[in-house]
Structure 1
Amino acid sequence: MLPVIVALAWPTMLEQAMNTAVQYVDAAMVGRLGAQATAAVGATTTINWMIGSTVSALGVGFLSFIARAFGAGDRQRAARVSGQAVLAVLAAGLLFTVLPLSLSRRVPVWMQAAPEIRGQASEYFFILYTPMLLRAASIVFGTALRAAGDTRTPMRVGVVMNLVNVTLNYLLIYPTHSVGPLTVPGAGLGVRGAAVASAAAYAVGGLGVTRALWRHPVISPRGQRLRPDWEILGPCLRVALPAALQRFGTSFGYVAFAAMINALGTVPLAAHSIANTVESAFYIPGYGMQTAAATLTGNALGAGDRKRLRDLAGMLLTLEAAMMVLSGTLLFLFAPGMMALFTPDAAVIALGAGVLRMVALSEPFYGVAIILEGMLQGAGDTVTPFFFNIAGMWGVRILGTFVCTRVLGLGLKAAWGCMIAHNLLLFLLLLIHHLRSEKRERAFFAQDAS
């Protein structure tokens, strides 16, 4: 069991690590332009999360059914599901191209960004969403490949995508300059250059993953009719819809959360934006293992192997807890140094390091919650995580942050305290649900055996 988990998880972890490294490079390069440039990029980050996570929720529905079909050895059904995923990508990609482009001027205003950064933030947002169709393909088709047990291809595509991003960042953000005896050409586009680099990388990633899916020996959509097949599409959407509502609802909560952070001023916003970038690296073990949890849960259910499913749960949760304890310890120890990589501003470093050390203490609990949610997704249960996430986001994080920042006049640390409380509640709710489900299953099989 352990070799299978590792084989599925390590490419996803490496892919996440590379993506995070590129985020670090992006943030560091933009950060050298000053706090206003960092704030301009950070002002729309939460909207980016909302749209990206809503599209990725579509992949969850297809993940569950491809993983089950793959586990049952039903190649024809797996290919049919993949064909319906193409339709979903076309619909979502077009929708989330038209809406962001048409609303790009208003988004920074809605996010309560400072007037002096709204122009840059709007332009950055517009450029970023120009290739959204290919970005949607990268997200959903990558999920389909992982559901079929291929986590290496998305990783390889990610390597190319990140190399494109970093190279173009360097050439487009800064003006022509000298490095020793060499003259390095540069466009000097600043924030606009960072947006163009990211958009180009998304396009390359989408093309690469689409090519890989079309060439896959089992789940290629070649030969499938590109029209709704409701026998397949209906169940996939029933799984995807709660996941999409959850991610949209929680992401909209992130928007509300970020808007309250934005209102605290430029220094708290810059600290919050950079701290989020730093923090994301320390969730790599969690999200890498979540992919393995979802895929293997779907495979086990497709094969009808309940014992394998129980063994899988125990091993995944133990591994995840151990890795996230280590991750949280490293984050706590190196928080100031990590912040200093992205900004020379002492006030931003001090504030960001403080909130990072707070969240480091909750890392193991959130890691376990990530795995439990991944197992539910692999089983096709997206309703339970939907209710738990919405309750935690709006009942704890948003309400708590509103009271702390708007009523009590507290700052960024209080807001992050509310975020941590939300994560701890999610851990408790998912753990209780998991233990109760195991108890019901044991009772059912004991009764059946008698």
Structure 2
Amino acid sequence: MLNIKKDLNQRKEMIVIICSLAWPSVVEQALQTTVQYVSSAMVGRLGAKASAAVGLTTTVNWLINSPAFAMGIGVLSYISLCIGAKKVEKAKIAAIQSIIITIILGIIMGIATLSISPFLPKWLGAAPEIQRNASLYFGIICLPMLFRVATIIFGAVLRSTGDTKTPMKVNLIMNITNIILNFILIYGNQTIFLGKLKIPVYGAGLGVVGSAIAAAISYTISGILMFLALYKNKIVSPKGKKIKLNLPIMKRCVNVGFPVTIERVTTCLGQVVFSSLVTRLGTLAFAAHSIALTAEEAFYIPGYGMQAAASTLAGNALGEKNEKKLQQVSVTMIAIAVAVMTITGTILFLFPDFMMSIFIKDPVVIKSGSSVLRIVAISEPMFGALIILEGIFNGVGDTKTPVFVSILSMWGVRILSTFLCVYKFKLGLKAVWLCMIADNIFRFTLLFIRFLSGAWKRNKLLRK
């Protein structure tokens, strides 16, 4: 009886810790999604062509962000493990390595993306009428690449120390800035009515280009603020230390992050190919596809918000060499994510028309997007568990198996089946989204089998 009470108390304490770490990340994800909602809605007012121009390079942006996210995972895994093992000095050295990684990645990715921006829309098979705007949009938002990378990697460093509130605050500032600048830069001069009061507002009337400039300025501000936050962090601040390479620690971070980089780059390339296949269905179908993807994002906010907490707590437990705690954290996080995303999935299933109408008024686009949202809503709980599983494996540095699974699933299930649906069987957007869901189901199944086997946990504990 006493053991049962003790286990219940431990479980309650763990849920409190999980919630305290997760809620700022959930809010942060919500803020990011909100600003994307607002931006998409503002651009959507310009019409389906403008929405398609902005949505065309969404998957390419996932691709170019993937090395930064992957290296952030490598640093987060190592620092959280060091903190769990009470090796604070090594954690600080790892934070210094994150600065070096940020500079190198930011410069390389900035040059690469600006070089391809004039040609990218044509490569993706975009209709001629949206190619120019799509190219300008992509080029402008890639100008501050160093700051985009800084936001991602330094945010991961802060989360690894248990500080999830600061990244949330930085994202709040970034998102407010983005929304205000979108309003000013996208539209021309307007008059706002507050009751009988008329307020004239200046507008640049830049359309899609204005949205890109707003995003670029916001990225720059967030990168600077995240860097300052890193220097003020009490646990891993590099203040007073030389920014120099520490080869053994850099190697540890890269060894975890590199497989994730391969996985993210390969799967994001798959997303780009997937997106180019959808463009073959026409501009209206692609607009419905890209807007539906944006609408769906709000409904997996809880999963991605809890993923960082799962990685941090799993890494801490590994550093403590506490197998029981590692298991409890993992199971509890998965259960919470599934429960929450069952609720969000139900909401999405019931109100897909409303979600689409936030972004565009075209009835054809709304009807097409709503039909695929209702399909994907059913898979949300499973997707929540998948997100947490990835977070747990990343937190303990077990990244090689998930890499293999993701690559196999993306190219062997999603791309192959979509290609057949579009080219061979001439099917529409619903079939394409069923291919996307099949990819997620396949990936979840393989990762869940690995989780149940316990090999990921035993192997890592034995090495520490």
Calculate the TM-score normalised by the size of structure 2: 0.94
Relative to structure 1, is the Cα distance of residues 248 and 440 closer, same or farther in structure 2, using a 3 angstrom cutoff?
Answer: closer
SS in 1 for 2:202: strand
1:138 to 151, 161, 165: 151
Q: Is the 8 A contact 2:186 2:210 kept in 1?
A: yes
CA–CA distance in structure 2, aligned partners of residues 72 and 219 of structure 1: 15
Query: Matches of residues 35-434 of structure 1 in structure 2 within 5 Å?
Result: 35-180=48-193, 181-434=198-451
CA–CA distance in structure 1, aligned partners of residues 174 and 413 of structure 2: 37
1:223 Cα deviation from its structure 2 partner: 3.4
Amino acid at match of 2:234: P
1:54 Cα deviation from its structure 2 partner: 2.4
Deviation per residue, 1:202-243 (Å, 9 max, x gap): 011101110000111111122333332111001111111100
1:300 Cα deviation from its structure 2 partner: 0.6
1:305 Cα deviation from its structure 2 partner: 1.2
CA–CA distance in structure 1, aligned partners of residues 179 and 379 of structure 2: 32
Relative to structure 1, is the Cα distance of residues 376 and 176 closer, same or farther in structure 2, using a 3 angstrom cutoff?
Answer: same
Deviation per residue, 1:111-142 (Å, 9 max, x gap): 11111111111111111011110110000000
Deviation per residue, 1:387-436 (Å, 9 max, x gap): 11111100000000000001111111111100000000111101100111
SS in 1 for 2:241: coil
Amino acid at match of 1:201: S
SS in 2 for 1:179: strand
SS in 2 for 1:283: helix
Deviation per residue, 1:370-389 (Å, 9 max, x gap): 11111000000110110111
Other-structure match for 1:448: none
CA–CA distance in structure 1, aligned partners of residues 262 and 268 of structure 2: 10
Q: Is the 8 A contact 2:450 2:456 kept in 1?
A: no
CA–CA distance in structure 2, aligned partners of residues 426 and 224 of structure 1: 43
1:31 Cα deviation from its structure 2 partner: 0.3
CA–CA distance in structure 2, aligned partners of residues 247 and 323 of structure 1: 26
Amino acid at match of 1:253: G
CA–CA distance in structure 1, aligned partners of residues 312 and 457 of structure 2: 23
Deviation per residue, 1:161-209 (Å, 9 max, x gap): 0000000000000001111211011000000000000001101110111
1:11 aligns with 2:20: no
CA–CA distance in structure 1, aligned partners of residues 455 and 134 of structure 2: 48
Amino acid at match of 1:214: Y
Amino acid at match of 1:230: L
SS in 1 for 2:190: strand
Q: Is the 8 A contact 2:97 2:250 kept in 1?
A: yes
Q: Which moved more, 1:175-184 or 1:149-158?
A: 175-184
Identity of aligned residues (%): 47
Unaligned runs of 5+ in 1: 446-450
CA–CA distance in structure 2, aligned partners of residues 396 and 52 of structure 1: 23
Amino acid at match of 2:319: G
SS in 1 for 2:233: coil
SS in 1 for 2:245: coil
Relative to structure 1, is the Cα distance of residues 151 and 310 closer, same or farther in structure 2, using a 3 angstrom cutoff?
Answer: same
| RMSD of Structure 2 on Structure 1 (CA) | 1.4
CA–CA distance in structure 2, aligned partners of residues 109 and 382 of structure 1: 34
Give the 4+ runs in structure 1 shifted more than 4 A. Answer: 438-442
Deviation per residue, 1:127-161 (Å, 9 max, x gap): 10111101100000000000110000000001100
1:440 Cα deviation from its structure 2 partner: 8.5
SS in 2 for 1:105: coil
CA–CA distance in structure 1, aligned partners of residues 186 and 282 of structure 2: 25
Relative to structure 1, is the Cα distance of residues 134 and 440 closer, same or farther in structure 2, using a 3 angstrom cutoff?
Answer: closer
CA–CA distance in structure 1, aligned partners of residues 228 and 127 of structure 2: 42
Aligned length: 444
Amino acid at match of 1:336: D
SS in 2 for 1:259: helix
SS in 1 for 2:248: helix
